Structure formats: structure tokens, C-alpha cells
């Protein structure tokens, strides 16, 4: 049998197992909005660990990370650095948000912000912002799935079809089973990816160079510029420290502001589960190192993939591994893509309906769920359109989304920790931050020190939030007391 046929069979089997788990999971949750959005607040440590971990092991890290290691060297280290920093504050913020969620019945982060700063326009702004940031993120995941399938089937299954099949399955189980499906499929996929990543990440350097040390010795000899941060930029020239450092900062700030992650505070069974998830989270960051090694293994390898995002499947194919291994690897990469994509689609629908539409129109539970399912389809379709069209690299797509999502941090922190913050202050701050980030995104040549537009946005956002809050009338003392007690 030809290799690509064997590979396709393994992928098909893998997809079937994922679909089954996803559909079975839904039978465990109640048929309510709280069930669909927050899995009835029932996730234990294992599910929580893999649900958050899956966000690290996305197509972005699994394909984009090695792609960067291969073409831009040490620039890729930023992906390792930010996770631990970004997650740590959640040790305290998570349980606090969870307590507020239980007290007031919040299931999204906009509900938390608006619970403190009552304004349906603010809620709608957060919903739109989240959705706009989600689309490039989902696009990254779909494109990743398509890339892998196209590469390992020798083009017999092209990118458009691969992405369509993988995400068709994701959409089916997200529609059917909601948060519960995301939790259970991520656990299965998480274990799968970690095993695959370590096996191949350690094996390839040995096979090609006789070990990790010898591999880096060879790179240090031939391409020392690749091994020293901040690495190289997209055109192969030395990258700027400003861009490297602020990309770490904006990713750290933005990480927990992603609705699909923040909302995990409302999905967790209890506070200890949340705290332990935070403690263990950086281990996922370490699991990424072998994946990067695969990218580095490509540096001294003869021949080059069509684009750096293809380096991982390219190395797997060019080193003539058995078809079964290629198939398993491919399933691992699909796991990475799908386990992030499902959470994203699910969260975007929850946010859009709960925080956007439901604020302006009275909907009963059934209508809300129905509408969420429509939004899953619409977001999926938009992302799919961009996935086929996209010219830019996976990492760059996502980096731009972080500029937007990081602007949610000041409102969320102010809602939970700053009594003197006012609704007007938060609204004006958010508008100023988003406008600034957008301006520098459109005019990158104006960025001071090559800083990330999200950080520049925050530099305007935070002073405006504080200033405008202090200039406006304090919130009603009873309201604040209720929120802080």
C-alpha cells in the first residue's frame, strides 16, 4: 500500500475516535446555557490541565513554533517565555473570578466586567473585540490542520479539503455537546500530542545528527545567528530587542484574557482545581521544547519546505519514517489544531450570544443555544475563508490577535481589584487602547522601538482608564461592597 494511503487511514481512525469522544461527552452535561457554556462548572484537574494546556499546544506552537525555530531561530523562544508569566496572576484572579461567577451566575468574562460596570454597550464592545480577535486565531488552527493533511498525503488531500474535514468534525461535536466535548476531546488529544512531540523531538536530532548537543554544535558552527535571542526577523535580518521583548509582554498580558481560557475559571469544579492548573501550566511550555528541536533539525538539513510553516511535516516525510509514525504524527498535529480550534469556536459563540445579542434582545434558553450554534457555524465559515486565502505566517496571524485581546486586561483587572474605577473610565480606556493598537497595526513604521502595537495600546489604555475614572463620580458604595465582599 502507498504511504499516503496508510497515513490517511490512520488519520481517519483518529478523527473517528475524536468525534466519538466529543459526541459521548455531551450526554453528561445538562441541556442548559450553563451546561453548554460552562459544562455545569464540573471540570476536574485532569480535564482542566489539558484544556488549558491545549491552548499552548495549538497549531501555532506545533507548526508555527518549529517554523520560527527553523527560519528565525531564537526568535521562537518567545513562545516558551510568555506562558509562565502570563498564567501566574491567575492563581489569585482565577478563584476570585470563580467566586464572582458563582455569586452572580457569570459564565463569560464580559459578564464579570459588566456586572461591575453596568453598560450593555461595554458588553457589546467586549463581545465584538473578542470575536474579531478569535477569527485570526481560528484561521491559524484551520490552516494548520490543512497544511499537515496536505503535506502528509502528498497533496492527494489538498489544504482546503483537509481543513474542511477536520473542522467539519470539530463543528459537529461543538454544536452537539458544547463545553463538555471540548474538555474530553482535549484530554484525549493532549495526551496524544505530548507523547508524539517528545518521541519525534528527541528521535529526529539523534537520527540526523547523533544527538541534541551535536545538532546545536553544527548549527552554532554554521548559523550562530540563529541561536542567540532575539533571533532573526521574517526577512532573515537580525530582529529587534524591542519587538522580541514586547511580544513576550503582550502575549503574557493577553494569554489569560482569551475568553476561552478566562472562562475556564467558570468551568472548574472548585478553586483548588484552578490553582493546581495554574501551577502545572508551565510544564506544557517545557513540553514544547522537543517540538522546537524538530524545527532546528531542519536547519542543517539538505532541502527546504515550500514555506517555513511546513517544516514539521516536511522533516517527518523527508527522513523516511514508517508510514504509521507519519500517520500518528499527523494525528498529533491535528490534535494540536483541533483541540484549540474547538475551544475557540465554542467560546466565540458563547461570548457573542451571551454578551452581545442577549443584551439587546430577550432570548429564552432554547433560543440562546440555537443562536450559539449558528454563530459556531458562521465563525467557522469566516475563518475557513481566510485559512484558504492567507499569505502570512501562522505566528504573525496570531501575534496580531494578541494586540486586541490584551486590551481586555485593564477592564478585567479594574473590575475585580480597583474600587475607584468607573464605567465611563473603563469604556473610554478601552476605546483609547483599541484605537491606539489599531493605529500602530496599520502604521507599523511609526512604532517606537519596534514595540508591539498591543503594548503601545496598553500604554495609552491604562492612564486613560485611571484618569477618566478619577474624573468621574465614584460608583455607588453598596454596589461596590456587594462586588468586593
Partner 1 sequence: MSLKTARILTGLYFVAMTYFVTWPGLLPFSRIRPMVLGLPFSLAWIASWIAGSVLVLYLLDIVEKRFRDAGSDG
The site for partner 1 (CB under 8 A) is made up of 74, 77, 80-81, 83-85, 88, 91, 211-217, 220, 224, 227-230, 241-242, 244-245, 248-249, 252, 275-276, 278-280, 282-283, 285-286, 289, 292
Q: How many CB atoms lie within 10 A of CB 60?
A: 29
Query: Whole-number minimum distance, CB 73 to partner 1, in Å?
Result: 9
Min dist. Cβ of residue 276 to partner 1 (A) = 8
Q: Which is nearer to partner 1, 476 or 485 (CB)?
A: 485
Nearer to partner 1, 252 or 326 (CB): 252
Place of cell 475563518: 383
In the complex, the smallest distance separating the C-beta of residue 476 from partner 1, rounded to whole angstroms, is: 25
| Three-state DSSP state, 147 | helix
CB nearer partner 1, residue 245 or residue 267: 245
φ and ψ at 238, to 5 degrees? -55, 135
Contact in structure between 23 and 33 (CB atoms under 8 Å)? no
At closest approach, how far in Å is the CB of 283 from partner 1? 6
129 vs 243 by CB, closer to partner 1: 243
Residue 77 · residue 326 · CB < 8 Å: no
Among residues 82 and 106, whose Cβ is nearest to partner 1?
Answer: 82
Q: Which string of DSSP letters, residue by residue, matches 354-421?
A: IIIIHHHS---HHHHHHHHHHHHHHHHHHHHHHHHH--S-HHHHHHHHHHHHGGGHHHHHHHHH-TT-
Task: Indicate the residue among 74 and 458 with the shorter CB distance to partner 1.
Answer: 74
Give the distance from CA 295 to its chain's centroid.
21
Q: How far is CA 377 from the centre of its chain?
A: 19
Count Cα atoms within 13 angstroms, Cβ side, for 75.
28
Q: How far is the CB of 228 from partner 1 (least distance, A)?
A: 5
Which of 158, 242 has the CB closer to partner 1?
242
Query: Positive or negative CA dihedral for 231, 233, 236, 239?
Result: negative
User: Residue 262 CB, nearest distance to partner 1 (Å)?
Assistant: 19
The whole-angstrom separation of Cα 338 and Cα 186 is 9
Smallest gap, in angstroms, from Cβ of residue 215 to partner 1? 8
Amino acid at each position: 500500500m502507498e504511504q499516503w494511503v496508510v497515513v490517511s487511514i490512520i488519520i481517519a481512525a483518529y478523527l473517528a475516535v475524536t468525534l466519538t469522544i466529543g459526541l459521548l461527552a455531551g450526554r453528561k452535561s445538562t441541556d442548559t446555557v450553563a451546561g453548554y457554556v460552562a459544562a455545569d462548572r464540573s471540570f476536574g484537574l485532569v480535564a482542566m490541565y489539558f484544556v488549558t494546556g491545549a491552548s499552548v499546544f495549538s497549531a501555532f506552537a506545533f507548526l508555527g513554533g518549529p517554523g520560527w525555530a527553523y527560519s528565525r531561530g531564537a526568535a521562537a523562544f518567545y513562545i516558551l517565555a510568555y506562558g509562565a508569566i502570563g498564567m501566574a496572576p491567575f492563581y489569585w484572579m482565577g478563584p476570585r473570578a470563580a467566586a464572582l461567577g458563582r455569586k452572580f451566575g457569570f459564565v463569560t468574562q464580559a459578564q464579570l466586567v459588566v456586572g461591575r460596570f453596568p453598560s450593555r454597550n461595554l458588553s457589546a464592545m467586549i463581545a465584538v473585540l473578542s470575536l474579531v480577535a478569535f477569527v485570526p486565531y481560528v484561521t491559524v488552527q484551520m490552516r494548520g490542520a490543512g497544511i499537515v493533511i496536505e503535506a502528509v498525503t502528498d497533496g492527494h488531500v489538498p489544504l482546503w479539503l483537509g481543513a474542511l474535514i477536520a473542522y467539519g468534525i470539530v463543528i459537529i461535536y461543538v454544536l452537539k455537546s458544547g463545553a463538555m466535548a471540548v474538555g474530553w476531546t482535549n484530554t484525549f488529544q493532549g495526551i496524544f500530542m505530548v507523547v508524539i512531540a517528545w518521541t519525534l523531538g528527541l528521535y529526529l536530532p539523534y537520527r540526523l545528527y547523533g544527538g541534541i548537543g551535536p545538532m546545536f554544535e553544527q548549527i552554532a558552527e554554521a548559523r550562530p545567528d540563529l541561536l542567540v535571542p532575539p533571533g532573526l526577523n521574517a526577512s532573515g535580518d537580525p530582529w529587534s530587542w524591542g519587538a522580541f521583548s514586547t511580544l513576550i509582554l503582550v502575549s503574557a498580558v493577553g494569554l489569560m484574557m482569551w475568553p476561552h481560557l478566562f472562562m475556564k475559571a467558570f468551568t472548574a469544579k472548585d478553586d483548588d482545581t484552578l490553582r493546581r492548573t495554574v501551577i502545572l501550566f508551565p510544564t506544557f511550555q517545557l513540553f514544547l521544547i522537543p517540538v522546537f528541536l524538530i524545527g532546528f533539525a531542519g536547519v542543517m538539513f539538505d532541502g527546504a519546505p515550500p514555506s517555513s510553516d511546513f517544516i514539521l511535516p516536511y522533516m517527518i516525510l523527508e527522513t523516511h519514517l514508517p508510514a504509521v509514525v507519519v500517520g500518528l504524527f499527523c494525528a498529533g498535529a491535528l490534535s494540536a489544531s483541533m483541540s484549540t480550534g474547538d475551544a475557540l469556536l465554542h467560546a466565540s459563540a458563547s461570548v457573542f450570544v451571551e454578551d452581545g445579542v442577549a443584551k439587546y434582545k430577550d432570548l429564552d434558553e432554547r433560543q440562546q443555544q440555537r443562536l450559539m450554534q449558528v454563530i459556531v457555524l458562521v465563525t467557522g465559515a469566516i475563518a475557513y475563508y481566510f485559512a484558504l486565502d492567507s499569505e502570512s505566517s501562522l505566528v504573525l496571524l496570531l501575534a496580531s490577535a494578541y494586540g486586541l485581546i490584551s486590551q481586555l486586561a485593564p477592564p478585567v483587572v479594574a473590575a475585580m481589584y480597583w474600587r475607584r474605577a468607573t464605567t465611563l473610565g473603563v469604556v473610554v480606556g478601552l476605546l483609547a487602547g483599541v484605537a491606539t493598537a489599531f493605529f500602530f497595526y496599520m502604521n507599523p513604521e511609526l512604532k517606537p522601538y519596534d514595540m508591539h502595537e498591543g503594548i503601545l495600546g496598553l500604554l495609552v489604555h491604562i492612564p486613560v482608564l485611571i484618569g477618566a475614572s478619577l474624573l468621574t463620580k465614584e460608583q455607588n458604595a453598596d454596589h461596590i461592597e456587594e462586588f468586593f465582599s
